Chain A
């Protein structure tokens, strides 16, 4: 059973870069049938899908955030990461990592991390 755990700073200053890591256990980030995904949740906007990274390094970012996003994957540590640049207060949220199966059909996000709260404030 795959488990995911987010980690990273809980406080980021405005205009700086938010960096989070998701550690995968019980599975491998090298899986060719998984999209490794980030989602965030704010009181005002609810759940917002941020994007995914595939084991090859290919990505798809939400167009609303695309210009500020960067995702990477580290197979040696079995982790994948998210960076959001030039953060503002509206980036304050609970950030989740999750997995979505990739295949000939369509699949939901069935495994989620517990979430990590990030506050943007000076």
Chain B
């Protein structure tokens, strides 16, 4: 298996532009997590899907952020409009969580977003 795939690996955009980050989880995994990491705020959980349904989106910072999981093999995190303070590394992770227990997460390589 190729592991969790994220694209793009790097994104540089200007303030006000729309940014879409993409994630392909490991085949067979039914949970997907989006994280943001910065030096100032550390590692933050943004949203968590189980069986394509958002379970907890309390970490999504504001309405400019939205996440979708249209099927078991694809998820997007969209920022519109982007701001410089959104600059961070965004990680996607997936796990198999077929009962109430949470199993180990496999992380993607991350997308480094720079908003100028």
Partners in one complex: no
Interface residues of B (CB under 8 A from A): none
